Amino acid sequence: MSRRRGPPPRRQARVTPSLLAAAAAAAAAAVATAVAGAPPVITRQPPPFVAGVFGSAVTISAAASGAADFQWQRSSTDHPDYWVDLYNGAGTSLTISIRCPYGGDTFRYRLRACNADGCVVSAVSRWDKVTWPVPVWVETPPPVLPGFAMARWVASVPTNDGYFNWTIKDLNGPPGESLRSEPSFIAGNGKSLTSKQGGEMFPVSSFPPGARVVALAQLFCGGPGGGSSDTIQSAPVTAAGPPPLTAACPPFVKSTAADAGGWVLSNGSHFTTSTCARCRANCVRMPGCTTWVWGADVTVVARHRQCWLKARTGPFFPRTTPPTDGPSPWVSGTVPANERTACPGVWAADWGGRVLVAGDTHRRRSCIACEAACRRRPKCNVWVWGFAALGGRHRECWLKRWEGGGLPPLKAGSSLPDSKWLGGLLHDRL
């Protein structure tokens, strides 16, 4: 049997690592050859507008193929060649702090992508849709403040960039007028403020009468070309009415806001005390004094702290008429009977008799001292003392002798409400 002759069978080729590496290198070379000489291609543009809230931050991004280097650039003008690299602008995204556009600047941003064969830039992303945060009240005055206080307002914003514009106005005042209008730095003006706060102060003493004062606050920056937020307005604050005059006196003196009538024993125009309690104490020490009157109103400088000591006794003592030139500046009170020293004798009485000692050259400080002077003279049985501090006879002590039996007569007119005399008798000598 004969064998068929033919070509020998083929062996299967073996793939080695060296062959794979060679193939990969060849493919890479082919790709490199295909893209050689081509700059990057922008595959995603940044947003056409940068929109955000003043004081916050916004992130924008773009993309490019075939790029080895990415750099964000900024321009504050529309000049096509005026672009500067941002120091923190590497990469495909950029975080922008929304700050004040001073001088009307409108910032523009773009991404530059580069490789060995060139650079391309993205479309422009323009910052021109900025909104302004409205300030928020942190501190406002209470509805009513005393006249010596300082009204204080504090507002906050989410930035330290820009200014506060403050207006203080009276809601009851003329339309369009303000008590004060001024800008102030954020966290400035020496008002003990923290970061991102602004404040304003206004003395209550400068409030117009009956005013309802409010503060208006607004965030602004950039001057005429900048921008500003909406304005916020505080609740109104009013000045408290003046405290009652009796508030100047301690409760134990039981004062009333009045000028009590009575015969004047001590002229307050020449006698002052630092407090109404001291005025009362002087009344306690003065024989015959039942009533004290003290100038409590600090706004009436001419009368402030004057201390008038008076006697309210009998049916004829003078009554004080209400003042006609404004509210009374006086507080007054009486001394209880168990605390005061009564005068001997009779009020509004100038007894007759032969004069032993003329009072125009003989004065005594009190009614008791005048009686004692009479007692020391054996022939004296009548004494008359000038109690009226507002008259020219004040403290005159007249010593007399009555020998007509019974009671001496009263001099004409001495018993009228405008009397200046207090008269006494030593009955054991009549």
Q: What is the DSSP string of 122-173?
A: ---EEEEEEE-PPPEEEE---SEE-TT-EEEEEEE-S-SSSEEEEEEEETTS
Cα–Cα distance, 42 to 121 (Å, whole number): 8
For 337, the 3-state DSSP assignment is coil
- The CATH class for the domain spanning 136-239 reads mainly beta
Cα–Cα distance, 337 to 340 (Å, whole number): 5
pLDDT tens string, the chain, 430 residues long: the values are 444 455 555 444 454 555 445 555 544 444 443 345 799 999 999 999 888 888 788 999 999 999 889 999 998 877 777 899 998 889 999 998 877 766 555 788 999 999 999 999 999 998 777 788 899 999 999 999 988 889 999 999 988 888 899 999 999 999 989 999 988 877 655 557 888 898 999 999 899 988 999 999 999 887 666 778 899 999 999 988 777 888 899 999 999 998 998 889 999 999 999 999 999 999 999 999 999 999 999 888 999 999 999 998 765 666 665 555 567 899 999 999 999 999 999 999 999 999 999 999 999 999 999 999 999 999 999 999 999 998 789 999 999 999 988 899 999 888 887 889 999 999 999 8
H or E element, residue 291: strand 291-295
Q: What CATH number does the domain located at 346-429 have?
A: 3.50.4.10
CB atoms within 10 A of CB 336: 9
Cα–Cα distance, 149 to 137 (Å, whole number): 20
Phi, psi dihedrals of residue 11, rounded to the nearest 5°: -90, 145
Domain boundaries, the chain: 41-131, 136-239, 245-334, 346-429
- Residues facing 63 on adjacent strands: 44
* Nearest Cα to Cα of residue 122 among 55, 59, 40: 40
* Nearest Cα to Cα of residue 400 among 421, 420, 425, 422: 425
- Residues facing 290 on adjacent strands: none
Compute CA distances 407 → 105, 400, 404, whole Å.
Answer: 107, 13, 8
For 416, the 3-state DSSP assignment is coil
Q: Where are the alpha helices (DSSP H) in 358-403?
A: 367-376
Cα–Cα distance, 137 to 145 (Å, whole number): 19
Phi, psi dihedrals of residue 24, rounded to the nearest 5°: -65, -40
The encoded tokens of residue 69 equal 């280097």
Compute CA distances 17 → 14, 21, 23, 50, 76, whole Å.
Answer: 10, 6, 10, 53, 58
How far apart, in Å, do the first and last CA atoms of the chain sit?
Answer: 199
**Which residues, including other chains, have CB under 8 Å from residue 139's CB and lie 6 or more apart?**
152, 153, 154, 199
- Judge if 41-131 and 245-334 fold alike in CATH terms: no
- The residue type at 133: P
Cα–Cα distance, 178 to 208 (Å, whole number): 11
- Residues facing 127 on adjacent strands: 50
Q: What pLDDT, on a 0 to 100 scale, did the predictor assign at position 30?
A: 40
Q: Phi-psi bin for 189: left (phi > 0), alpha (psi -120 to 50), beta?
A: left
Cα–Cα distance, 296 to 278 (Å, whole number): 13
Q: What pLDDT, on a 0 to 100 scale, did the predictor assign at position 8?
A: 52
245-334 fold:
Hepatocyte Growth Factor (3.50.4)
Q: What pLDDT, on a 0 to 100 scale, did the predictor assign at position 224?
A: 63
- The CATH class for the domain spanning 41-131 reads mainly beta
**HEC profile of 46-79:** CCCEEEEECCCEEEEECEEECCCEEEEEEECCCC
**HEC profile of 206-241:** HCCCCCCEEEEEEEEECHHHCEECCCEECCCEEECC
* Nearest Cα to Cα of residue 266 among 253, 249, 283, 284: 283
Q: What pLDDT, on a 0 to 100 scale, did the predictor assign at position 167?
A: 95
* Nearest Cα to Cα of residue 316 among 348, 351, 349, 350: 348
- Residues facing 73 on adjacent strands: 85, 110
- Residues facing 3 on adjacent strands: none
Cα–Cα distance, 208 to 150 (Å, whole number): 14
Place of tokens 């080895």: 68
Q: What pLDDT, on a 0 to 100 scale, did the predictor assign at position 29?
A: 46
